[in-house]
């Protein structure tokens, strides 16, 4: 007996009941109450996804491992005390400076369901660990060891910290941490790549820009912004073109915040800032990994782009990019939809291998006072093995000096007319050190064809006497893509300069001291 075989659809049978935890009715971001939207987490739960089999580690100031809403899901293999170099990440209690940040973030991800305590985590059957690495001197080595802790066991690393959001700092990972990110995405999870979820920053009141934070603007991290329950911008939100998605958090005193675990086995409904948004996204991504454990780190970013919705998120800067997706410098591609994410993940086919095309734009010094516009025609490495036909990340690496760095704005415009504000003015940044091979990153051109004319503008928005913005070298990098089917005409690249009195020189900048702040 012979018969032609074909694939057949089968769904697992499961029952789902709404969690009974006492604070669950305050978790407005999980179940819509007064406003039109939520994170659509219940839809993912109803499909049977609760984070089971997925491991998340919170890189922070420690974890109250005995907390009754954490203990059942606590995973010692996903935990370590980097500050004291021992396996126990427990919070070091202090009356003057409570170390509650890590415990709060952990509960957002994986607080136990239906146990009569507090609320419920987004991925309430995921395993949760904590790395105590911020409760002491933070060194490059400590960061690197934290980012690479047990990478064959931990799936997702959630970080709600970075350089202080003062509107004047320019800092990112040092050598060891940079290498740790690369090892993580290359070797973590059996070669699928560790997933690094990062809070975009709380520097809105200081008019900061998260493209000046080398952690959140890394192509290896998934940067998460915040919105309030009303879909408005929180006062702390800072913009940048690196933000990929948004989750809910608190805002001012009249906005509700996030329910989670707190020190001394207590609960709180006051967790806020992008500190709350990053673990919320990490928990949602854990649901997607349960739906499809074979997702690699780039698959996850593709899925997040597709599962984020602009809904009613309020801001002035929504624009439609070259492939028809609305995108914002505050919200990325919008509010992350957990139900949509697991649906897409369950059917997703892995993206093709990473490609990288690098273009040197200028190799000579150019003087700049008021404005510099560079326009060039890009082939995206057509005719080579690195030919890029569909974009993921874009990096513009700049080396320049300027008399007052905070007066500069930098804009990148794609051939499809998508505008990425790589840098906005930062009034508190009075430094004259400029940028030394600093990578400004944008996700706004995701899936666009990069071939054609690109425009890069550097503009002085301050005093007309500002001078010495000296760009020595610009490198433009197109990062990794899945090919698209349309034909791309081959072009010859050439730079065209339109400038007003500018002078450019190479500088070297070494960051010797590192400071981290909670978000």
Active-site amino acid positions? 60, 101, 275
Give strand pairing partners of 368.
Answer: 501
What is the per-residue DSSP string for 131-156? EE-SSS---HHHHHHHHTSSTTT--E
3-state secondary structure of 74: strand
CA distance 202 to 198: 12
CA angle 398/402/407 to nearest 5° reads 95
Q: What is the largest CA-CA distance in the chain?
A: 88
Chain-centroid distance of CA 132 in Å reads: 21
Q: What token pair was written down for 319? A: 């624009």
Only one residue has tokens 């800092």, namely 171
Provide CB contacts within 8 A for 35, sequence distance 6+.
28, 229, 230, 231
β-strand pairing of 308-309 with 473-479: unpaired
CA distance 216 to 207: 16
Cβ-contact 202, 238 below 8 angstroms: yes
Rounded to a whole number of angstroms, the CA Rg of the chain reads: 23
Cβ-contact 516, 401 below 8 angstroms: no
Give strand pairing partners of 458.
Answer: 372, 410
Give strand pairing partners of 359.
Answer: 476
Q: What token pair was written down for 336? A: 């992350």
Give strand pairing partners of 394.
Answer: 442, 478
Buried b / exposed e across 140-165, counting CB within 10 Å, b at 16+? bebbbbbbbbbbeebbbbbbbbbbbb
Distances (CA, A) of 363 to 471, 478, 500, 504: 9, 19, 18, 10
Q: Which H or E run includes 305? A: helix 297-307
């Amino acid at each position: 007996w012979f018969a032609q075989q074909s694939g057949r659809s089968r769904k697992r049978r499961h029952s789902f009941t709404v969690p009974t935890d006492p604070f669950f009715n305050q978790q407005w971001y999980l179940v819509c109450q007064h406003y039109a939207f939520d994170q659509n987490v219940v839809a993912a739960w109803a499909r049977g996804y609760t984070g089971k089999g997925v491991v998340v580690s919170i890189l922070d100031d420690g974890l109250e491992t005995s907390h009754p809403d954490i203990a059942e899901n606590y995973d010692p293999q996903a935990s370590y005390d980097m500050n004291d170099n021992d396996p126990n990440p427990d919070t070091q209690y202090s009356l003057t400076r409570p170390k509650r940040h890590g415990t709060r973030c952990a509960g957002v991800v994986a607080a136990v369901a239906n146990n009569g305590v507090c609320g419920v985590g987004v991925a309430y059957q995921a395993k949760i660990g904590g790395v105590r690495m911020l409760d002491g001197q933070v060194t490059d080595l400590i960061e690197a060891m934290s980012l690479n802790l047990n990478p064959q066991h931990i799936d997702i690393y959630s970080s709600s910290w970075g350089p202080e959001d003062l509107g004047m700092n320019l800092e990112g990972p040092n050598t060891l941490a940079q290498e740790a990110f690369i090892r993580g995405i290359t070797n973590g999870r059996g070669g699928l790549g560790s997933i690094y979820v990062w809070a975009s920053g709380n520097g809105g009141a200081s008019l900061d820009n998260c493209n000046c934070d080398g952690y959140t603007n890394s192509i290896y991290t998934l940067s998460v912004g915040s919105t309030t329950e009303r879909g408005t911008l929180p006062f702390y939100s800072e913009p940048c073109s690196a933000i990929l998605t948004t989750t809910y958090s608190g805002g001012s005193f009249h906005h509700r915040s996030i329910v989670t675990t707190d020190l001394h086995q207590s609960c709180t409904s006051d967790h806020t800032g992008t500190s709350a948004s990053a673990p919320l996204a990490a928990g949602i991504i854990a649901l997607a990994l349960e739906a499809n454990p074979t997702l690699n780190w780039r698959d996850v970013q593709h899925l997040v782009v597709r599962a984020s919705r602009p809904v009613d998120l309020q801001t002035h800067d929504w624009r439609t990019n070259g492939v028809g997706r609305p995108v914002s410098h505050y919200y990325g591609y919008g509010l992350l939809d957990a139900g949509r994410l697991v649906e897409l993940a369950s059917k997703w086919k892995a993206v093709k291998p990473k490609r990288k095309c690098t273009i040197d734009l200028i190799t000579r010094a150019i003087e700049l006072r008021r404005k510099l516009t560079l326009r060039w025609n890009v082939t995206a490495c057509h005719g080579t093995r690195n030919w890029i036909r569909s974009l993921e990340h874009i990096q513009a690496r700049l080396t320049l000096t300027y008399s007052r760095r905070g007066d500069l704005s930098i804009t990148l415009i794609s051939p499809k007319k998508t505008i990425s504000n790589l840098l906005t003015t930062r009034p508190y940044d009075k430094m004259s050190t400029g940028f030394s091979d600093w990578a400004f990153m944008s996700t706004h051109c995701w899936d666009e064809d990069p071939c054609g004319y690109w425009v890069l503008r550097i503009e002085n928005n301050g005093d007309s006497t500002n001078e010495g913005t000296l760009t020595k070298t610009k490198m433009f990098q197109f990062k990794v893509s899945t090919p698209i089917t349309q034909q791309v005409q081959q072009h010859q690249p050439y730079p065209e300069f339109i400038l007003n009195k500018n002078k450019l020189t190479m500088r070297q900048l070494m960051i010797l001291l590192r400071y981290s702040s909670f978000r």
